[in-house]
């Protein structure tokens, strides 16, 4: 049985890490007390979305505050001998990759406060997909506890995150507009390249589909904003 206890001494500065977890497009946002900056990470399945979305992914990957990492093609791994074994190996590989990316963009001497967005009860993914996503998230959390020794790790309901952005029943389009309008008056967000890029490209979620992985990164942003302002 795993027994985990938080470190006895709390760091003066923290890396706040928010994760909007999915198997095909996990979105992550890191905020550090020391730098007062955000870093956005997408660990996305290759060739996700339309050609326009893929061009968007390529363009934002050039920004200083964005890291886009494409997942390996798990279906082509010859070592996978069964469907269930394939899933477990995928979860394990994803967890290792995500932790490695997070650590690369964190202050190594500062502690971690990690938050996951909880599952939405209104999700239309289907029972099997929800179970698979929950299993993948559980493997990631376990590896984080063992390797990153976070000072806290929690799961926050989507409605709570949405309330931080405005109200609890906001749609993806509403959240995107809240991000573009910087509804919380976040000075650190205003300084970031992703925010300025999205403003200049005139993304209008009322008219056009929100390009992947921007929707995931926005969810992660509001989550990290919530936990970093609450503490």
In a domain, 4, yes or no: no
In a domain, 179, yes or no: yes
In a domain, 1, yes or no: no
In a domain, 5, yes or no: no
Between 5 and 210, where is the model more confident? 210
For the stretch 3-32, pLDDT in tens is 444 444 444 789 999 999 999 999 999 999
For the stretch 166-201, pLDDT in tens is 999 999 999 999 999 999 999 999 999 999 999 988
In a domain, 122, yes or no: yes
What confidence tier does 68 reach under pLDDT thresholds 50, 70, 90?
very high
Number of domains in the chain: 1
Percent of the chain with pLDDT over 90: 76
pTM tops 0.85, yes or no: yes
One DSSP character per residue, 170-222 reads --HHHHHHHHHTTTT--HHHHTSHHHHHHHHTT--TTTSPPPTTHHHHHHHHH
Question: Which pLDDT score, from 0 to 100, does residue 207 have?
Answer: 76
Has residue 125 got a pLDDT over 60? no
In a domain, 107, yes or no: yes
Q: Which residues contact 7 (CB under 8 A, 6 or more apart)?
A: 111, 149, 151
In a domain, 7, yes or no: no
For the stretch 78-89, pLDDT in tens is 454 578 888 999
Domain that holds residue 108: 14-230
Question: Which pLDDT score, from 0 to 100, does residue 84 have?
Answer: 82
What confidence tier does 231 reach under pLDDT thresholds 50, 70, 90?
low
C-alpha to C-alpha distances, 31 to 63, 113, 134, 139, 176, nearest whole angstrom: 16, 10, 25, 23, 19
Contact (Cβ atoms closer than 8 angstroms) between residue 62 and residue 196: no
Question: Which pLDDT score, from 0 to 100, does residue 39 have?
Answer: 98
Query: CATH number, domain at 125?
Result: 3.30.420.10
In a domain, 80, yes or no: yes
């Amino acid at each position: 049985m795993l027994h985990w206890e938080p470190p006895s001494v709390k760091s003066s500065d923290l890396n706040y890490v928010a994760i909007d977890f999915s198997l095909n497009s996990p979105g992550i946002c890191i905020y550090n007390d020391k730098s007062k900056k955000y870093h956005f990470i997408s660990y996305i399945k290759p060739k996700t979305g339309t050609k326009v979305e893929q061009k968007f992914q390529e363009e934002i990957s050039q920004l200083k505050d964005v890291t886009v990492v494409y997942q390996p093609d798990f279906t082509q791994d010859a070592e996978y001998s069964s469907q269930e074994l394939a899933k477990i190996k995928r979860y394990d590989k994803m967890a290792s990759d995500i932790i490695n990316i997070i650590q690369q963009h964190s202050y190594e001497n500062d502690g971690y406060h990690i938050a996951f967005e909880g599952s939405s009860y209104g999700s239309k993914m289907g029972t099997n997909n929800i179970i698979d996503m929950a299993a993948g998230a559980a493997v990631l959390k376990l590896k984080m506890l063992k390797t990153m020794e976070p000072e806290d790790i929690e799961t926050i309901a989507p409605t709570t995150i949405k309330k931080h952005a405005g109200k609890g029943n906001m749609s993806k389009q509403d959240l995107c507009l809240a991000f573009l309008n910087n509804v919380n008056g976040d000075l650190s967000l205003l300084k970031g390249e992703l925010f300025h890029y999205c403003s200049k490209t005139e993304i209008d979620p009322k008219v056009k589909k929100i390009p992947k992985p921007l929707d995931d990164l926005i969810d992660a942003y509001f989550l990290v904003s919530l936990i970093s302002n609450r503490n």
